[in-house]
Amino acid sequence: MTIERRSFLRGAVAVPAAGVLSAGAVGAAGAVGAAGTATAEAERAALPAPPEWLSGLPDDTPVQRLTLPGTHNSGARHGGPWTECQNTSIGTQLESGIRFLDIRCRAFEGSFAIHHGAYYQHLNFDDVLGSCRDFLSRHPSETVLMRVKQEYSEESAEEFRRLFDGYLDGKGWRSLFRLDSTLPTLGAARGKVVLLGDSDGLPGVRYGNTELFNIQDEYMAEPGRKYELVAAHFRKAVDSPGKLFTNYVSTAALLPPRSTSDTLNPRVKALLSGDEGGGWSGLGIVPMDYPNVNGMAEALIQHNAALARA
């Protein structure tokens, strides 16, 4: 997060001209419509329910071919309207189908406190990891991709790594993580938290490595402009697959996150379910603010249905 961002946180269906269809034409149109509806319903049913939706996909699927709903600033539920980005707990997010968490850790008194800017979120790293462990214990077919970065502290990368290692070994969390530096297949990731390290020296996949990631995160674009950026990045993911695309729907744009999400999320959902976007797949990670308000996780999950049928 930039210094400027920290400072900010502180402070009619048309009637056809041809006229009325004949009874036969109406019947044919109705049959086509019924078939289309049946196909859409079959596709929606192709994947299991949100808590275990990854169980319907093959083990050999590379994670960069998935469409993974995520939350931006996943632990940010306190501090007022300018700071809050979510209204559900980490555990509830995971149960709803979220598979990417954006975890911001303040190095404080030898441990990690979860922050958004200056605001402590009444949550510590142990709490986050405990929620992931409990979820994955219940649903071992799933995985969680977790970005970990330093927030509101300026410890050296070495000290941040030392504290992280204390969680791995001193507190016994190593077995929860997949710490390899390469992007895994789904089978290799199941039951694990795949670490996306966003601090020099952290193990795991290096978040932001341009050889692996293609990231759109214009967090101060106003909603209209942000929508165009999101749509363009989706198109790029579809047209040029290979990297793990990450497409932040979230933006601040001098308005509270809830306000911008209420504008952005319905537009993005309409794009994903419309004529252009309805057949897209391989969209990568899609972090959002308040995705539960508009059913965004469910809408994104369905873009994996083609993988289930492959």
In the predicted model, what is the mean pLDDT of residues 35-52? 66
- Report angle CA 115, 189, 84 to the nearest 5 degrees: 20
Tell me which residue of 309, 290, 286, 289 sits closest to 300, measured CA to CA.
286
Q: Which two tokens stand for residue 255?
A: 């308005």
Residue 272: the pLDDT is: 98
Domains of the chain, with CATH numbers? 51-309 (3.20.20.190)
User: How distant, in Å, are the alpha carbons of 22, 146, 202 from that of 195?
Assistant: 61, 5, 9
CA 37 to chain centre: 28
Whether 240 has a pLDDT exceeding 90, the answer reads yes
Which pLDDT belongs to residue 45?
54
Q: Which secondary structure element, helix H or strand E, spans residue 95, and what is its range?
A: helix 90-95
The strand pair at 193-198 and 205-206 is best described as parallel
- The candidate with the shortest Cα–Cα distance to 142, out of 290, 297, 310, is 297
Q: Strands 100-108 and 284-288, how do they pair?
A: unpaired
pLDDT digit string, tens, across residues 119-148: 999 999 999 999 999 999 999 999 999 999
The bridge status of strand 193-198 relative to strand 177-178 is parallel
The pTM assigned to this predicted structure is: 0.87
Which pLDDT band holds residue 166 (cuts at 50, 70, 90)? very high
Flag whether pLDDT at 41 surpasses 60.
no
Percentage of residues of the chain with pLDDT beyond 70: 85
DSSP state string for 220-271: TS-HHHHHHHHHHHHHHHHHS-SSEEEE-----TTS-HHHHHHHHHHHHHHH
Each residue of 51-104: pLDDT tens digit?
999 999 999 999 999 999 999 999 999 999 999 999 999 999 999 999 999 999
Q: Of 95, 17, 9, which Cα lies nearest the Cα of 51? A: 95
- Read off the pLDDT band of 269 (50, 70, 90): very high
Alpha helix stretches (DSSP H) within 175-222: 186-189
Query: Could you give the dihedral angle defined by the CA atoms of residues 301, 303, 307 and 310, in that order, rounded to the nearest 10 degrees?
Result: 140
